[in-house]
Structure 1
Amino acid sequence: MSAELSVQLYSVRDALAADLPGTLDRIAELGFSNVELFGFVDRVDEYRTALANAGLTALSGHASIAEGDAERALDAAAALGMRTLIEPMIRHGWETEHGVSAIAARLGQIAAQAQPLGLEVGYHNHTWEFESDINGRNAFDVFAERLDPAVVLEIDTYWAEVGGASAPALLARLGDRVRLIHVKDGPRSTDAAAQQPAGAGDMPVKEILAAAPDAVRVIEFDAYAGDIFDGIAQSLRFVSGQAS
């Protein structure tokens, strides 16, 4: 069975700001059935209507829960029928063992809150989790060991590589704890505007997909110098052809 495909709507944030229903229609026209939301907590009714009209399902969404209003975000995610609510970024705390343990514990608490709502909670990485050293190991590996099994992972494969990790090796090591992966390509640079459609850059995208055969493939661009909808369409074609 092929893994599910999705797209992080942050990629089209400018279009969404101008015309949310029209943007979702364009995403559906590209061939997507699933999306990953951001900034949805204050727009539940608007998203519910627009998603239904476009024939799209919000499998997952990003919202600040570890340091924000977790209860409100969980309620919004449940109202939109999501499967996974993901903490997109925790910037500080990765420098020490105590800090890493505290982050893991907080996410475990939120996962317990989410369970009665039929939701799972996840974490999405950037570069710093791999750049921080905890007793000779990167902070992300320490975090994964201490994380409640109820908390799932969304590996941003691009930022993991930029942070110094091998994304295929990381995915193989984490196994089915990884429910979703962000698929993007480019020159392994912190310059987000240099990102390219999947298959057009330096990232080992084929190996990444093979290492996480069951994870939802979430196409994303943090930025793109060309037409973003064309870039997403190119990524979708590549990933669809490589899906397990």
Structure 2
Amino acid sequence: MEISVQLYSVRDALATDVQGTVSRLVDLGLTHAEPYQLVEYRDELVRAREQFPIDFPSAHQSFLGDVDFPAVLEAARAVGVQYLVDPHWNPEDWTDAEKVRALAETLNQRAAAAAEAGIRVGYHNHAFELSSRLGDRTALEVFAEALDPQVILEIDTYWAAVGGADVPALLGRLGDRVQLVHLKDGDLSEDPAAQLPLGTGAMPLAETLQASAGVAYGVIEFDDYAGDMFEGIAASIAHLRSVL
């Protein structure tokens, strides 16, 4: 597993100085990062790749709705993205099996177009895809069953736990469908501000990392943090390096 970081974590710094923010992350020893709002940041990310020893193998961008998907793919190619991930879909739709399968079919269609550009698409969960039960399975697993083999999942391990999942068991069931994981820690409440550096909260992190051994990238993320964000990221990097 390679270590990456979700740039949403440093969104405040990024909003005022993209290149300076990337430089600070590189100084922490990171060589991979996961952008969000890929189309919006396209040009700055291209510049960052030229200036710093960093790449952007995965990225978040909404593309399952009514969007200019060729423009999204162009941005992904320009930035060097391998895994293009939609980060969120309407929570209400995850309570209806037909809507879940329809969403999977939309993602399959996007996957066919992306494959021509050498890009794999996927979806990133929150808590509601796991807390919603459709029969005897979670909505996320119903969704996964309907996906084309080339579609990947990025499992946010923290939000999956908040949604009630046994995360190591979930990762085991999903298998190599999971190519990316978001790694975060905290008190397992729904309050993002309660998130903490890796290894200092209630997540079963050792078991989660063991179950994630085959994924391509482990992406550190804070949705929020009461302390200094860069210090929190540095502490999480140090913990991962001590256990991986």
In structure 2, what is the equivalent of residue 173 of structure 1? 173
Q: Mapping of 1:177-188 within 5 angstroms?
A: 177-188=177-188
In structure 2, what is the equivalent of residue 106 of structure 1? 106
Q: Which SS does the other structure have where 1:180 is aligned?
A: strand
Residues matched between the structures, number: 241
Q: CA deviation at 1:73?
A: 1.3
Q: Which SS does the other structure have where 1:225 is aligned?
A: coil
Distance 1:68 1:9 in 2: 24
Q: Which SS does the other structure have where 2:126 is aligned?
A: coil
In structure 2, what is the equivalent of residue 42 of structure 1? 40
Distance 2:50 2:7 in 1: 16
- What fraction of aligned residue pairs are identical, expressed as a percent? 48
Q: Which SS does the other structure have where 1:25 is aligned?
A: helix
In structure 1, what is the equivalent of residue 82 of structure 2? 83
Q: Which SS does the other structure have where 2:181 is aligned?
A: strand
In structure 1, what is the equivalent of residue 241 of structure 2? 240
Distance 1:26 1:137 in 2: 42
Across the aligned residues of Structure 1 and Structure 2, the Cα RMSD in angstroms comes to: 1.0
Q: Deviations over 1:36-88 (max 9, x none)?
A: 00122033222101232121100110000101422221211111111100010
Q: Which SS does the other structure have where 1:121 is aligned?
A: strand
In structure 1, what is the equivalent of residue 220 of structure 2? 219
Q: CA deviation at 1:133?
A: 1.9
In structure 1, what is the equivalent of residue 150 of structure 2? 150
The answer for unaligned runs of 5 or more in structure 1 is none
Distance 1:176 1:43 in 2: 30
> Structure 1 residues 241 and 68 mapped into 2: Cα distance closer, same or farther (>3 Å)?
farther
Distance 1:42 1:7 in 2: 18
Contact map agreement 1:25 1:54 (CA 8 A) in 2: yes
Contact map agreement 1:195 1:223 (CA 8 A) in 2: yes
Q: Which SS does the other structure have where 1:78 is aligned?
A: helix
Q: Mapping of 1:113-124 within 5 angstroms?
A: 113-124=113-124
> Structure 1 residues 33 and 108 mapped into 2: Cα distance closer, same or farther (>3 Å)?
same
Q: Which SS does the other structure have where 1:209 is aligned?
A: helix
Contact map agreement 1:175 1:212 (CA 8 A) in 2: no
**Partner AA of 1:119 in structure 2:** I
Distance 1:13 1:51 in 2: 18
Q: Mapping of 1:46-85 within 5 angstroms?
A: 46-69=44-67, 70-85=69-84
The answer for unaligned runs of 5 or more in structure 2 is none
**Partner AA of 2:139 in structure 1:** A
Contact map agreement 1:154 1:181 (CA 8 A) in 2: yes
Give the TM-score normalised by structure 1: 0.96
In structure 1, what is the equivalent of residue 10 of structure 2? 12
Contact map agreement 1:24 1:51 (CA 8 A) in 2: no
Instruction: Give the 4+ runs in structure 1 shifted more than 2 A.
Output: none
Q: Mapping of 1:198-213 within 5 angstroms?
A: 198-213=198-213
